[in-house]
Amino acid sequence: MSYRITQVDLAVDAAEKAAIMPPLDARWLTEGPLARAFQEKIATLTGARHVFFAPNGTLGLFLAALALEPRPGDEILIPSFTFYGSATAAHYAGFKPVFVDVDPETFAVAADQFEAAIGPATRALMPVHIYGQCCDMAPIVDLARGRGLAIIEDAAQALSVTLDGKSAGTFGDIGVFSLFSDKTITTGEGGILVTDDDAIAERIRLIRNQGRPNSGTFVHPSLGMNFRITDLQAAIGLAQFGKLPAILADRERKRVRYSDGLAGVGDLRFMKRIRGSTIVPFRFPILTAQREALANSLEAAGIQTRGFFYPMHLQPKLRQENQPSLPVSERLSREGLCLPVHVHVTDGQLDDIVGTIRRHFGA
């Protein structure tokens, strides 16, 4: 079906077209000087001491999990309400994912949910900064440090998000961001890892570059693979980075416009802000018991929507014996609907979306 208003569109124009010409002219396409320049931008944005790229966010999480050197039987606690790649990255790195529920109002995992699931094999926690806001990290960090657990922050949807002025992704041992085409800025595909831990940084450096600290040698002191990106991607990333302030302002304005326009309509509920966190909307998420009917009304008006994530503990290949019900994750999956916030949604289109929803509920 062709939609008048799509769920995703890119903030790509002449700036990105111009940006890819210098590496093409220089005939330097692999990871190089533009990637280093992009690293510096991300380091400044996040305040992280070490920045690395990966081919995508899922492989970034995989690389982060590998850098923790899991032992057979090690478990990592992951919220069930997340994207599939959070769990599969940990699984393929050697962890056993153990799923926990999330808060019904913020949609985010909290320290008490992690604490209740910690067992003798627990080695790490993976808080997920869902829908562009940061988990309440201080209690999670305190819990992890008190129990000797590592933290991988899945910040795929949270680039530029802060909690009390500190960047999401920089509270734990490793943070991972995504540069996929529906994220705040994009390189088409791409991932970012950040860490302040020198030992972890060295392991990431070796693993992502075929087990060697630098290219140009055929002596490989460690096992590794190729997790590099290209300077073409970095060129696009730098062009996108220049648009970041405008993108952030645009998404915030749309978030407020949706919130104001849909307040008090039907049984709609919104994601509650976590104290101290900024929100950079990945989508505009809403909850309603009429999810399917509302989605049909919007589709009939040519407006594309998207449901929430299907719970990890119910995924066919991730189900575990004696898995308890995780009712919040299950309800979010049933009742959640995402509205578009991308740069090409005009004010008139957003008002059209709001109006369609209000008419559906008779408001």
pLDDT tens digit string along 196-209? 999 999 999 999 99
The pLDDT assigned to 322 comes to 84
Q: What is the token pair recorded at 329?
A: 């994750």
Question: Does residue 79 contact residue 333 with C-beta atoms inside 8 Å?
Answer: no
Provide, rounded to the nearest whole percent, the portion of the chain with pLDDT above 70: 100
Residue 4 lies in a domain: no
Q: Which of 195, 227, 242 is the last residue of a domain?
A: 242
- Specify the 3-state DSSP secondary structure of 17: helix
pLDDT grade for 217, boundaries at 50, 70 and 90: confident
Residue among 52, 72, 50 nearest 60 (CA): 52
Q: Could you tell me the pTM of the whole model?
A: 0.97
pLDDT at 318: 97
Q: What is the pLDDT of residue 356?
A: 99
In this prediction, residue 33 carries a pLDDT of: 97
Secondary structure (3-state) at 353: helix
- Residue 216: pLDDT band (50, 70, 90) is confident
Q: What is the pLDDT of residue 233?
A: 98
Q: Indicate whether 2 belongs to any domain.
A: no
Mean predicted confidence (pLDDT) in 64-69: 99
Assess whether 307 and 257 both reside in one domain: yes
Structural domain includes residue 294: yes
Does 269 reside within a domain? yes
Same domain, 150 and 176: yes
Give pLDDT tens digits for 306-335. 999 999 999 999 998 888 999 999 999 999
95 and 152: one domain?
Answer: yes
Contact 234, 28 (CB under 8 A): no
Q: Are residues 154 and 175 in the same domain?
A: yes
Provide the domain limits for residue 299: 245-360
CATH number for position 102: 3.40.640.10
In a domain, 82, yes or no: yes
Domain count, the chain: 2
In contact, 299 and 72? CB cutoff 8 Å: no
Band the pLDDT of 37: cuts 50, 70, 90: very high
Same domain, 250 and 231: no
Answer yes or no: is 38 within a domain. yes
- Same-domain status, 273 and 285: yes
Cα 164 from Cα 278, distance rounded (Å)? 8
Please answer whether residues 190 and 180 qualify as being in contact, where contact means their C-beta atoms are separated by less than 8 angstroms.
Answer: yes
Shared-domain flag, residues 217 and 339: no
- Cα of first residue to Cα of last residue in the chain, in angstroms, is 28
Residue 6 is assigned to a structural domain of this protein: no
| Residue type at 60 in one-letter notation | G
Residue that is last in its domain, among 242, 268, 294: 242
- Residues 224 and 257 both lie in one domain: no
Residues 223 and 312 both lie in one domain: no
- The CATH number for 278's domain is 3.90.1150.10
Residues 137 and 284 in one domain: no
My answer on whether 167 and 93 are in the same domain is yes
Per-residue pLDDT tens digits for 94-134: 999 999 999 999 999 999 999 999 999 999 999 999 999 99
Does a structural domain hold residue 270? yes
Is residue 155 domain-shared with residue 177, that is, in the same domain? yes
Examine the pLDDT at 1 and tell me if it is beyond 90: no
Of the three residues 213, 242, 271, the one that is the final residue of a domain is 242
Which DSSP category does 333 fall into? H
The answer, yes or no, to whether residue 38 has pLDDT greater than 80, is yes
**Cα–Cα distance for residue pair 24/133, rounded to 1 Å:** 37
Give the per-residue pLDDT at 213. 86
Summarised one tens digit per residue, pLDDT across range 134-176 is 999 999 999 999 999 999 999 999 999 999 999 999 999 999 9
Tokens of 86: 């959070």
For residue 176, the model assigns a pLDDT of 99
pLDDT digits (tens, 9 = 90+) for 230-271: 999 999 999 999 999 999 999 999 999 999 999 999 999 999
